[in-house]
Structure 1
Amino acid sequence: MNYSQFYKNALLNDVIPFWEEHSIDTTYGGYFTCLDQFGKVYDTDKFIWLQARQVWLFSMLYQKVEKKASWLAIATAGAEFLKDHGMDNQGDFYFSVTREGKPLVQPYNIFSDCFAAMAFAQYSKASGETSYGTLAKNTYLNILLRKDNPKGKFEKGTGTRNLKNFALPMILSNLVLELEDFLDEKEIQKTIDFSVHEVMEVFLQKDSCLIYENVLINGDLHDSFEGRLINPGHGLEAMWFMIDIGIRNKDTTLIKKATDTMLSILDYGWDKEYGGILYFMDAKGHPPQQLEHDQKLWWVHLEALVALAKAYEHRPDEQIKQWYDKVHEYTWSHFPDSEHGEWYGYLNREGKPHLSLKGGKWKGCFHVPRALYQCWQTFERIQLKSPSI
C-alpha cells in the first residue's frame, strides 16, 4: 500500500470536505462542532479549544498543503471570532460561549489558552497579520505565568493532596515548537528543557516505562484513583512530541527513549480480548473511576499511528512495523464512516460505535485531520528512502 497517498486522500477527499461543508457558521463566525453522523448541527454552543484547533488546522493546511483562498477564509472566520469573543478582560480564554459569542463557561483551566496560542501563531503566518503573532506570544506568556496553578480560583482541591497533571508539560512540548517563529531561542529552549524533563523524568516511571497522569508535586506517586491513572493515548501523543523535539535538537537518545516508551505503552494499553487501545487504566489493575475507561476513542488510535510512523522513520525495525500494522488495521476498520464521511469518535469495548456523532464538546476538526496530515508527510519521507514501503 502507498501509505502517503492513502493518508493524503483520506485527508483531502473525505475529512476536510466534511468540515468545510458542515461546520462553518456564516452568520456569526467561528465553527459548529456539534455535528451528528450526517453533518447536521445538533447544538450551536462553541467550545473555545475546538474553535482554536480548527483555526490552527485550516491555517496549517493553507501554509503547508496549498494556498487555497477558501481555507484561509475559513481560518479567518475562526480567528476573528476567537479574538473578539474567546477571552475575558484579563486575556484568559473561556471554555465555551454561545453561538453569538457570549460567555458560557469561565476560564477554569489554561488548555483553551494553549490552543488559542497555537491558532493565532499559525494564522499569523498564514495571513501575514502580525497582530495575531503578538497575540499568540502574549497568550503563551500568560500560560507560563499560570502554569504552576493552571486552574487558579477554579481549583477544586483543598491543598491536602497536591498533585500535578501530565497534560500541561505535554502540551507545552508541542506548543513551544508551534510558536518557534515568535519566541527567542532562550525562551524556546527553556520550555523544551522543562517539558522534556517533566515528561521523560517525572511522569515517566523508570520501572514500568509507563506515563502516569498525575504525580505529587515532588514527583512521587500516590496510591489513589488520580495517582494510579494511566491514559495510554496521552502517553503516545507525548512520545511523538518528544520525537519532534529530538529531531529539532538532533537528540538521538531522546528519540530512542521516546520510541521505547511508546512500545511499552502500547503493550500495556492494548485490549488483549477485543483489540484496540483502552482509554483509561489503573496502574495497579484496580477498577478505574472513569466509567468510560474501556471505550476505544478516535484520537487515541490516531496518536498511536502518528507516533509509530515517526518512530519507524528513525528506527525501521520489525517490532515497530508489526505494531503499526496492528493499530492501522484496527483503526481503519472501526472508526471511519465510509457512507457519510469523517470518523466516529467513540466505540464501545467491542469496537462498535457508542455514539454516532462526528463532532461535539470534545471532538472537533483537529485530531483526525492533524494525524492524517502527519502520517501522510511521514510516510512520504519514509518512501523517499525506501520506495517499497
Structure 2
Amino acid sequence: MDNVLFSKKSAVTELSAISEWWLKNTLDHQHGGFVGQVDFWGNIVEGERKGIVQNSRILWFYSESAMFSGKDDDKNAADRAFEYLISYFDDIENGGAFWEVSSTGELVNGKKQTYGQSFCIYAFCAYYRLTGNKLAVEKSMEYFELIEKYARDKKCGGYVEAYTQTWQPIDDFRLSDKDLNAPKSMNTHLHVLEAYSALYAVKPEAKIKEALAHVIDVFNDFIIDKSTNHLKLFFDMQWQDISKTVSYGHDIEASWLLWEAVEILGDSNKLAYFKPIIISLAETCLNEAIGEHGQVCDEYEIASQKRHEESYWWVQAEALVGFLNVYYLTGEARYIKACNDIWVFINNHHIDAKAGEWHWLSNMDNNQGSCIYKAGFWKAPYHNGRAMMEVAKLFDLIKGE
C-alpha cells in the first residue's frame, strides 16, 4: 500500500466505498432512519441513542454524494435521512433541533446546541440543492432565524454555545465531556461559518450575507491568533482566551472552510485580505504538526508544550483538503507531497481493508484496544466523505489551470 497514489481517481473510488459501507451497515430497518451505533467490528449496537450531529451529517453527505455521483441509492438515503430528521429531531413547538433521541425516536435530550442547529442548516441546504424540496429551505431559514435571535451575542459578537430546549440560558455549554464549559468556542463558530456559507449560496439575501460576513470577521478578530497562526479554541463571553491546547486538525480544516466562505461571500477585498492568512494557517500546520509517519498529529498542550502524536480519522481527512487547497492557491510542491504522505497513511492505518470504513484512531494508536465505534454519535460519513468530494473538485481546478 505504500505507493498508493493520491489522485482524483483514488478519491472517487474511496467515496464510493464510504457511501456503500454506510448504506450496507447503518440503515435502521426496524425504527427508521439510521442506527445509533455500529461498533469497531461492524456490528449494530442495539438500543443505542441517536444524535442530531450524526443524523444531520448523514443527510448532508448523501445529499452531496447524490449530486456528485448521480446514484439513486444515495438520493434514496438522503430522502430517508431528511424524513427521519424532520419527523424525530425537529422541535415543532419551540423550533430548532433536539440534541438526542432514543433508538426508537423518543426525546432524550432537547437542548439546543448552536453547533447542532448549524449542522441542520448545512444539511437542509444540501438537500434543497439536490431536490428543490421547499420544506428543506424553509427549515434552513427557520433555524437561521433562531440562531440569530437567541444565540447571537449582540454586545460582544459571535454566538453562544447552547440553550435549553425552550431557548433559555443554560449552565452546561459543552458539546462533549472533553470540552471546556465555555460560552463560546472556535468549533461552534467554524460550523456556523460552513452553515451560513451554504445558506447564502442557496439564498443570497442581505441578512444572510451580513451574518456570514460577521462570523468571518469573528474569526479574524478573535479566533485566529496571528502571532502563532493557530486557532484559539475556547472563550468567555468577552472573548478572553481560555484555551489549553492547539488543535492541528481544526487549524487545517478552518483554513479551507474560511477560504470557501470568503469565496461564497464574494467580497474581493476580503479575498485579498484572507488569502495570506489561509496560507499561513496551512503552512504552520505543515511545519509543526506532521508526525514521523506523515500523519497530522492531534493537538499540542500549551502548558506542557507536549505534542500529541495520535492520528484521528477526521484530522487526516481535513488535512487532505486543506493542504490540497493551499497547493491550488500557491503551487508549492510540498503541499501536494504532504497530501500524498497523508493518503498513504490513511490507506495503511485508517481504512479497514476487511470490514470497511475508517477507524476512529489509526491502527498505530492502540485502536484494537480502544475499539471506538465505526459509526455513532460523533462519526458519520461527513469528514472522510466530504474530503473525497472536495479533493476531486480541487483536482479538477488544478488540472483546469
User: What's the TM-score once normalised by structure 2's chain length?
Assistant: 0.84
Give secondary structure in 1 for the equivalent of 2:184: strand
Shift of 1:339: 1.5
Is there any run of 5+ residues in structure 2 with no aligned partner, and where?
A: 154-159, 164-168, 174-180
Q: Which has the larger displacement, 363-372 or 122-131? A: 122-131
Aligned ranges 1:188-207 → 2 under 5 Å: 188-207=208-227
Partner of 2:255: 239
Change (3 A) 1:242 1:381: same
Partner of 1:22: 25
Give the Cα–Cα distance (whole angstroms) in 2 for the partners of residues 263 and 352 of structure 1: 29
Select the residue among 292, 296, 310 that pairs with 2:325.
Answer: 310
Give the Cα–Cα distance (whole angstroms) in 1 for the partners of residues 237 and 6 of structure 2: 47
Give secondary structure in 2 for the equivalent of 1:112: helix
Give the Cα–Cα distance (whole angstroms) in 2 for the partners of residues 275 and 151 of structure 1: 37
Identity %: 17
Which amino acid is the alignment partner of residue 126 of structure 2?
Q
Aligned ranges 1:192-231 → 2 under 5 Å: 192-222=212-242, 227-231=243-247
Shift of 1:351: 7.0
Which amino acid is the alignment partner of residue 325 of structure 1?
N
Pairing 1:255–2:275 present: yes
Give the Cα–Cα distance (whole angstroms) in 1 for the partners of residues 341 and 72 of structure 2: 39
Is there any run of 5+ residues in structure 1 with no aligned partner, and where?
A: none
Change (3 A) 1:33 1:314: farther
Shift of 1:259: 1.6
Partner of 1:382: 398
Partner of 1:338: 353
Give the Cα–Cα distance (whole angstroms) in 2 for the partners of residues 358 and 162 of structure 1: 29
Aligned ranges 1:57-96 → 2 under 5 Å: 57-66=61-70, 68-88=71-91, 89-96=93-100
Give the Cα–Cα distance (whole angstroms) in 2 for the partners of residues 2 and 208 of structure 1: 30
Give secondary structure in 2 for the equivalent of 1:311: helix
* Aligned length, in residue pairs: 371
Pairing 1:105–2:109 present: yes
Assess if the C-alpha contact under 8 Å between 2:186 and 2:234 holds in 1.
yes
1:18-39, Cα deviation, whole Å (9 max, x unpaired): 0111111233321124113443
Assess if the C-alpha contact under 8 Å between 2:317 and 2:384 holds in 1.
yes
1:154-178, Cα deviation, whole Å (9 max, x unpaired): 3337xxx975211222112211121
Partner of 1:52: 56
Select the residue among 382, 386, 394 that pairs with 1:370.
Answer: 386
Partner of 1:300: 315
Give the Cα–Cα distance (whole angstroms) in 2 for the partners of residues 351 and 206 of structure 1: 35
Question: After TM superposition, what 4+ stretches of structure 1 lie above 4 angstroms from structure 2?
Answer: 348-353
Give the Cα–Cα distance (whole angstroms) in 1 for the partners of residues 306 and 171 of structure 2: 25
Assess if the C-alpha contact under 8 Å between 2:54 and 2:376 holds in 1.
no
Pairing 1:280–2:280 present: no
Assess if the C-alpha contact under 8 Å between 2:296 and 2:311 holds in 1.
yes
Give the Cα–Cα distance (whole angstroms) in 1 for the partners of residues 397 and 306 of structure 2: 42
Q: Which has the larger displacement, 324-333 or 305-314? A: 324-333
Change (3 A) 1:352 1:147: same
Partner of 2:138: 134
Shift of 1:320: 2.0
Give the Cα–Cα distance (whole angstroms) in 2 for the partners of residues 18 and 350 of structure 1: 23
Give the Cα–Cα distance (whole angstroms) in 2 for the partners of residues 268 and 163 of structure 1: 29
Partner of 2:200: 180
Give secondary structure in 1 for the equivalent of 2:280: helix
Pairing 1:156–2:175 present: no
- RMSD of the TM alignment (CA)? 2.5
Give secondary structure in 2 for the equivalent of 1:154: coil
Change (3 A) 1:266 1:107: farther
Assess if the C-alpha contact under 8 Å between 1:18 and 1:39 holds in 2.
no
Q: Which has the larger displacement, 200-209 or 213-222? A: 213-222
Give the Cα–Cα distance (whole angstroms) in 2 for the partners of residues 365 and 299 of structure 1: 10
Assess if the C-alpha contact under 8 Å between 2:248 and 2:285 holds in 1.
yes
Shift of 1:129: 1.9
Which amino acid is the alignment partner of residue 282 of structure 1?
E
Which amino acid is the alignment partner of residue 238 of structure 1?
A
Assess if the C-alpha contact under 8 Å between 1:36 and 1:357 holds in 2.
yes
Which amino acid is the alignment partner of residue 123 of structure 1?
Y
Give the Cα–Cα distance (whole angstroms) in 2 for the partners of residues 162 and 37 of structure 1: 32
Assess if the C-alpha contact under 8 Å between 1:233 and 1:300 holds in 2.
yes
Give secondary structure in 2 for the equivalent of 1:179: helix
Give the Cα–Cα distance (whole angstroms) in 2 for the partners of residues 28 and 180 of structure 1: 34
Pairing 1:357–2:373 present: yes
Assess if the C-alpha contact under 8 Å between 1:246 and 1:255 holds in 2.
no
Which amino acid is the alignment partner of residue 265 of structure 1?
C
Give secondary structure in 1 for the equivalent of 2:375: coil
User: What's the TM-score once normalised by structure 1's chain length?
Assistant: 0.87
